[in-house]
Structure 1
C-alpha cells in the first residue's frame, strides 16, 4: 500500500481516489494483525500525507502532527505483543516532518519500515536501503507505475527476508535460511536460530513448474534442494561447517519453460559480524532533509544580510598592494552598500525572500492559499515549511545572490569610468561577455519559474507573486539604474578607486 495526497483539497474530497479505489478504503494510520498458530505479526500503516494536499512541488514532504504521532505511539504499543511488526507508508522517514521524539523513535520496535516516494531516484540509486540507529530496517522499493517493481518478504522461524523484483521476470527466488547478513539484526530477530537450523530453505515461484533448485556455498556445490510444499524447497546442511567469518550462498532456480534465475547473498552464523549499508543510501534515508534545508536557508539569508549591513556601516577599506579579486570585490560591496537605491533593493529582496509571501494562488484544487518560506496557509490550515526552504535556497543561490554580485560588478565597471557601451569596447570580451551571459541565463531561469508558477497554481499566482513575477519585472529596472546612474553620485567612489589604483 502506498498513498499520498497530491492536489487533494481534503481527505473527504471526491478527488481522494485512495478512499474510493484502494483495497483498504480508509484514511489515516491503522494496525492490522496477522494471526498464525506460531504467533502474531503486526502491520502498521504510516499515513504522513499533508491535509490538504498541495500541488507539486510543495507536496514532497510528509507531515505528522502531534495528534497523528500520538495515534502512532498507541499503534506501536499495541504491536508490542506481536512476534514482529512491519511498518509501511509512502514517505521515507527522511522526508517526514514529525515532532519530538521523531518518527524513527516511534517505530523503533519495528523490524522494518517499507516505503516508496524516492523509489530509485530515477535510476540513480537502484537500491535505497539502510538501518536506523534503533535497528529498524528502512527499505525503499522501486515504483510500480513506470518500472513495475514489487517486493515479497517472508518470516522464516522469525527471521525476516525479502526480495525486490521486476514484474514479469521469472522465476522468483527468495532465500529465507540462511538470511542475508546485511539485513540481520539481533535486536529484532532470534539470529541464534540460524546456528541451530537443519535445512537451507528457499522460496521459488514461477509460471511454469520449478524443475531444479541448485544450492552453492562459497562456490561449492551442495546439492539440489527438494520440494517440500507450495513454493518451499529445502536442503539439509550443517551450519557449524560455516561457523567462522562470512560466506556466500548462491541458489540457481530453473523452470520447465527453460527460464533460470540466480540469486546470492552473504551470510554468517556469527552474531558479532556486521555489514554496512551504502553510505550514500544511508545519507539519503537517514538525513532529516527538511531540517538541513531550513538551517541552510537561514544561514544563507543571515550571511547575505550580515555582508550588506557590515559594508553599509564600515568605512572605506584601506587596501594595500595590487587591486586583486578580493580587494575589488570588497570595494564593489562597499559601493553597493553605500548607495541607498541598491542597498535597500537588495536588503528588501533578501528580507522578503525570508519573510514575505511568495505568491497567492490555488494551492490545492479549488482552494486559495498563500505561500511563504516557512510554510503555506490554505483553506484555514497551515502546512509548515518543508520544500519551501529548498525552493528558497534555489532562489537565493541562483538569482538573488547572483543578482547582487552582478550589481556589484556593474557598479565596479562604472567606478572604472565606463558606461554600458564603453565597457563593452574595452577589448576584454572573454571577461565581460560571460558575466552578462550568465546573468541572462539566470534571468531566463527566473522567467521560467514564473511560467511554472502560472501553469501549476494559476493566473492569480502569476500576477500576485512578488518573488517571481514582480521581481522578474523589476530586475531590468534596477540593472538599468546601475548603468544610467549619474556619475556625480559615483564621484567619491571613482576617486577612491583611482587613489587605490595609483597607490
Structure 2
C-alpha cells in the first residue's frame, strides 16, 4: 500500500507542476496587449488616404543567404539575379539583409570557419550589380558570420571589410530615409556574439548593456525627429536573444511608439516544422521571421502606407508580385502602433503590383462580389475607389488578380477588417517567437534527464528493501505487467551499474562537457548552461539541444539496453526461475548495442571535425560516454552472483 501511495503522490505532483507550467505558457503566448494613452488608435493624426503616392514607401528584406564556395552554387547565381532583376523591377527604397550572409562551413558541412572567398563573392555581386546606386543596402551580421571569430578586431571578422555597412557600423546602427516629405527610420539590432564559437555552440544572440544603451539612444533620437515610422531589424528572433541590461530587447522595441515591427531570420523553417513565423508581441510590435534564401529562395516585400505596415513573402522568380496595402490583412493589425481610422477613412483600395514586364491588369473583388479594375496612379501603385462603410464590421475577404503583358498571372487573397477584428496567429508561431529559446531548450533537456533518472531512483528507493522483507514476489506480480519494470528493478539493485547510469545525466547538468579550442586559438569550456571562452561567458541555449540529442540518441537507448542486459544475466544466474534467455535474444541485444556504439563513434568523429583532437579527448558527452557505456554493457552481461542484493 505504501508503494502505491508513493507512486500516486509522485504522479500527482508531476501533474500539478505540468499544469502550472502550461498555464503560464498559455498566458505567455497570449497576444493581448495593453493600449497606452498615446497609442496609435487614439492619435489625432487622421490622415486622409486617397489615390496619391504620398505617405508611401516600399522596401525589401532578404535573410540567411548562406553564400558558399562548397555547396549549392545556385544560391550565388540566383542572388545575383535578385540584385539585378528583382531590385530593378521593384525599385525598393531600402533592402534589409538580415544576417548569415555567408555559410562559413567546410566542404564536409561540419567544420566551420570564415572563408574570405565567400565574403568576396558577396561583395562582388553587390558591386557588379551596382546595388548601392539603385537602393540603400542595410546589412547586418548573423551567427554564421561570426563562426570562429574571436572579436570585432579579429582579422576573421570579415563583415567589417566585405559588407556594405560593416566598415562604418561594427554592430547596431540607425539609418533614416526620406521619401518625399516623410522620414522613415531603420534600426539594426546586432545580437551576434562578439566572441563567436564554431558550430554548433553559436545559436543564441546577446545584446549587452552597452548595446541596449546605444539602441535606446537611437529610439530617443527618432522620437525627437520628424520620423513617422520605425522598422527594427536583426538576424535573431527576440526569443533567441539574451539581454544583459536594465531592460530586455522586447521592452526596448515595444516602448517606441513609432516602432511598427521587428523583422529577422535565423530560424529558417525549423526543419520544415513552420513555414511562416509571425506574431504580435505583448509589448506591442509585430515580429516577422523570414524564411531563408539558402534553401527556400524567399524574400519579403514590405510597405508603409500612411503609417500602416503591410508585407508579403515571395519566392524568387515568382512574378508578378502583388501587395494590398489598403485594407491591410486582419492577421497583422497592431492596435498600439497603427491607426485604424486611416483604414476607415480611406477612399481607395490601394495595391502595389510589380513584374519584370509591364503590368496589364489589376482587379479585385470583395466577398465574392463583382470584379473591379484598378487604375495605375504612378509606378507600381494601383487604386480602386471604395466605400469602407460597407465593410465597417467583422471580417471580409478581398481577392486580387494581376496579369502582366507577357501573360504571367497571380491570384491571391487576404482577410481584412476595419473594426479591429483580428485573425489569430498559429500556435507554433507564437510558441517559437514568444517563448525564449533558452526556456524551451532547457525544458526539453531537464525533462529528458528526469525521464532517465527518476524511474531508477523511485524503483530503487521504493522497492529496494522488498527482498529482505520477503515481499519481492508480490511486488513483481503487482507491477510486473508495467513494461521494463522488472528490468529496471534489477538494474536499480546493482550498485556498480545503477550509480554510473544515473550519474552521467546528472553530471551533464553541472559538469563541463568538453575543453578545447572553441574560437580560433582560444581554449574554452562548454557547460549545459553556457560557454567560457576568451574571457567571456556565452549563455548559448543550443547546448541544451545538443545535450538533449545526446540523451535521446545514446543515453536513453543505452539505459534500455542495460536494463535488458541485467535482466538476461539475472535469469542466467537463476536458472531455476525458468526464464533463461536464449542465445538469439543475447545476440540481438549485443547487435543493437554495437549499432548504437557505431552511431556514437560517428558523432564523435563529427565532433572532432568541428573542434579538433583536444576537445574530443576531453569530451564527456562524446568520448567518455562511449568508454563508460562499453564498460557498463560488459558489466551488465557478466556481473557475478554476489552483486545481487
Q: Is TM-score (shorter-chain normalized) higher than 0.5?
A: yes
1:487 is displaced (CA, Å) by 1.9
Residues 326 and 447 (structure 1 numbering): CA distance in 2 closer, same or farther, change over 3 Å? farther
Q: Deviations over 1:460-492 (max 9, x none)?
A: 2222223311221232222112222222333x4
Equivalent in the alignment of 1:179: 328
TM-score, scaled to structure 2 = 0.70
Equivalent in the alignment of 1:55: 198
1:432 is displaced (CA, Å) by 6.2
- Tell me, in whole angstroms, the C-alpha distance in 1 between the residues paired with 2:579 and 2:197: 47
- Tell me, in whole angstroms, the C-alpha distance in 2 between the residues paired with 1:83 and 1:383: 37
Of residues 233, 242, 247, the one that matches 1:97 is 242
- Tell me, in whole angstroms, the C-alpha distance in 1 between the residues paired with 2:588 and 2:572: 21
1:13 aligns with 2:154: yes
Q: Deviations over 1:102-156 (max 9, x none)?
A: 3222211331111111123344432221211223111111222343311111111
Equivalent in the alignment of 1:24: 165
1:211 aligns with 2:366: no
Matches within 5 A, 1:272-287: 273-287=421-435
CA RMSD, 1 decimal: 2.9
1:233 aligns with 2:374: no
Of residues 255, 262, 278, the one that matches 2:404 is 255
1:276 is displaced (CA, Å) by 0.5
SS at match of 1:220: coil
Residues 325 and 19 (structure 1 numbering): CA distance in 2 closer, same or farther, change over 3 Å? farther
SS at match of 2:572: coil
Equivalent in the alignment of 1:400: 555
Equivalent in the alignment of 1:290: 438
Residues 38 and 263 (structure 1 numbering): CA distance in 2 closer, same or farther, change over 3 Å? farther
1:455 aligns with 2:601: no
1:398 is displaced (CA, Å) by 3.1
1:459 is displaced (CA, Å) by 1.9
Q: Is the 8 A contact 2:204 2:540 kept in 1?
A: no
1:473 aligns with 2:627: yes
Of residues 238, 247, 253, the one that matches 1:107 is 253
Equivalent in the alignment of 1:484: 638
Decide which moves more: 196-205 or 123-132: 123-132
Matches within 5 A, 1:102-251: 102-108=248-254, 109=256, 110-251=259-400
Of residues 62, 68, 93, the one that matches 2:211 is 68
Residues 49 and 470 (structure 1 numbering): CA distance in 2 closer, same or farther, change over 3 Å? same
SS at match of 1:265: strand
1:222 is displaced (CA, Å) by 4.3
Residues 172 and 327 (structure 1 numbering): CA distance in 2 closer, same or farther, change over 3 Å? closer
1:446 aligns with 2:631: no
Q: Is the 8 A contact 1:185 1:191 kept in 2?
A: no
1:333 is displaced (CA, Å) by 4.4
Q: Which has the higher contact order (CA 8 A, sep 6+)?
A: 2
- Tell me, in whole angstroms, the C-alpha distance in 2 between the residues paired with 1:260 and 1:385: 46
- Tell me, in whole angstroms, the C-alpha distance in 2 between the residues paired with 1:427 and 1:477: 23
Q: Is the 8 A contact 1:116 1:140 kept in 2?
A: yes
- Tell me, in whole angstroms, the C-alpha distance in 2 between the residues paired with 1:171 and 1:361: 52
Residues 433 and 183 (structure 1 numbering): CA distance in 2 closer, same or farther, change over 3 Å? farther
Q: Is the 8 A contact 2:572 2:580 kept in 1?
A: no
- Tell me, in whole angstroms, the C-alpha distance in 2 between the residues paired with 1:34 and 1:304: 56
Decide which moves more: 325-334 or 48-57: 325-334
1:240 is displaced (CA, Å) by 1.2
1:177 is displaced (CA, Å) by 1.0
Equivalent in the alignment of 1:495: none
1:89 is displaced (CA, Å) by 0.7
- Tell me, in whole angstroms, the C-alpha distance in 1 between the residues paired with 2:156 and 2:313: 31
1:332 is displaced (CA, Å) by 4.6
- Tell me, in whole angstroms, the C-alpha distance in 2 between the residues paired with 1:324 and 1:306: 17
Q: Is the 8 A contact 1:111 1:188 kept in 2?
A: yes
Residues 451 and 326 (structure 1 numbering): CA distance in 2 closer, same or farther, change over 3 Å? farther
Residues 181 and 327 (structure 1 numbering): CA distance in 2 closer, same or farther, change over 3 Å? closer
Of residues 356, 361, 370, the one that matches 2:525 is 370
Q: Deviations over 1:158-209 (max 9, x none)?
A: 1111111122222221111111111111211111111111111111122221
TM-score, scaled to structure 1 = 0.88
Q: Is the 8 A contact 1:424 1:432 kept in 2?
A: no
Residues 323 and 483 (structure 1 numbering): CA distance in 2 closer, same or farther, change over 3 Å? farther
1:326 is displaced (CA, Å) by 6.0
SS at match of 2:362: strand
Q: Deviations over 1:311-332 (max 9, x none)?
A: 6666423342626536785555
SS at match of 1:169: coil
Residues 435 and 97 (structure 1 numbering): CA distance in 2 closer, same or farther, change over 3 Å? farther
Residues 310 and 283 (structure 1 numbering): CA distance in 2 closer, same or farther, change over 3 Å? closer
